[in-house]
Structure 1
Amino acid sequence: MVFGRPHQKAEPEKVSQSRDGVYLFPPKGLNIVWGNDPRYWMIPQNGPAWLMQVSWLEVSGSVRVTKGRKYRVKFEVSLDADSFGFKGTTLLIMAKVGKNGAYNYDEVTLAQAGKLTIPNKTSGLEVQIPSDASDPTLYFGLYEVWSGKWKGGLEIHKALVQPA
């Protein structure tokens, strides 16, 4: 473990915003539970984070967004040919506005090897930011913490938060 901390804490300076308002979160811009423990994750400075094995999958991020707008949250991931623990397992993409907000979520399943954008390339989990939000921070993540199954072979390429 690096510096004795088992979890990777997001490096905000790694997050970028394009001219059309899309926030791009590379793996180093995300919080990854067990991400600093090389028994569970390999996270290079550049490129995808590779999940070796965990039973608790939690990858999350946050960004201050514009009040009164709607955003889509997406993750670009892939499963390698030797992936395990994902067949028949539901993952949740969750998002909320403000620390005390209520979560919206989409259920997704990863059934095949290859690169995917989840929920998918055209939709994404949509979240409306209230125009009177006291805290316009969008908290989001990809989770599978309920099945108890060990999972591996997942690559996290990036997360996206884009205006809808």
Structure 2
Amino acid sequence: MSEAADPGEVEYDEDTGRWRFKPRGLHITWSSNPGYWKMPEKGTDDPAELKMVCWLEIEGSTPKPLSKGERYALSFKISMAEDRSGWKEAPAFMMAKVGKKGIAKWARINLEDVQVDGVKEVPLGKFQFEVPENAQDTTLYFGFYELWSGGWKGGLRIHEAVVEKMPDLPP
């Protein structure tokens, strides 16, 4: 059904507190079926390309805990193929939660407006969240979904997911 996320396809920059998840570093439902997804070669920066599914589920988690009391942002870099379809009736949603038992935060993403072949970061302005000071589990669990419409969709390219520490707000 799906290939397991490859930890070798996740990069962390300790200086900036930035995680980069290449497509093979994410758990993409149906990715092992070439009828549904065209996955990039291991070790490349090529995107994963959705051929056609009615159940879009892309998930990831940080291999190491995030810092308590810090603000972070989640974004996906995506593009669309020329033959994209099914996105008018089906907005996608992003989810982030700190800890397995954390409260999920959601953002609606309108993919109909994404231009063909132009890489775009979604959501616009980044999807921000804070790690609670009292959190027991500070692993980030996140996802990119469209599984509610039941309609077939295709043409989405996933270039990467990024989790980055946000700068402190001025006092």
The TM-score normalised by the length of structure 1 is 0.92
1:10-159 equivalent positions in 2, closer than 5 A:
10-18=5-13, 19-44=15-40, 45=42, 46=44, 47-63=46-62, 64-111=65-112, 112-113=115-116, 114-120=118-124, 123-159=125-161
Kindly provide the CA deviation profile for residues 77-128 of structure 1, in whole angstroms up to 9, marking residues without a partner as x: 00111100112321101010111111101101112423211002xx211111
Paired amino acid for 1:17: Y
Same amino acid, percent of matched pairs: 41
Segments of 5+ residues of structure 2 without an aligned counterpart are 167-171
Q: 4+ residue stretches of structure 1 with deviation over 4 A?
A: none
CA distance in 1, matches of 2:55, 2:9: 24
Contact 1:106 / 1:125 at 8 angstroms: preserved in 2? yes
Do 1:73 and 1:125's aligned partners in 2 also have CA atoms closer than 8 Å? yes
Look up the match of 1:3: none
**Hey, what's the Cα distance between the residues in 2 that align with 1:136 and 1:145?**
27
| Matched pairs, number | 157
Amino acid at match of 1:97: V
Q: Do 2:89 and 2:149's aligned partners in 1 also have CA atoms closer than 8 Å? A: no
Query: 1-side partners of 2:127 and 2:3: how far apart?
Result: 24
Structure 1 gaps, min length 5: 1-5
CA contact (8 A) 1:85 1:150 kept: yes
- Root mean square deviation of aligned Cα: 1.0
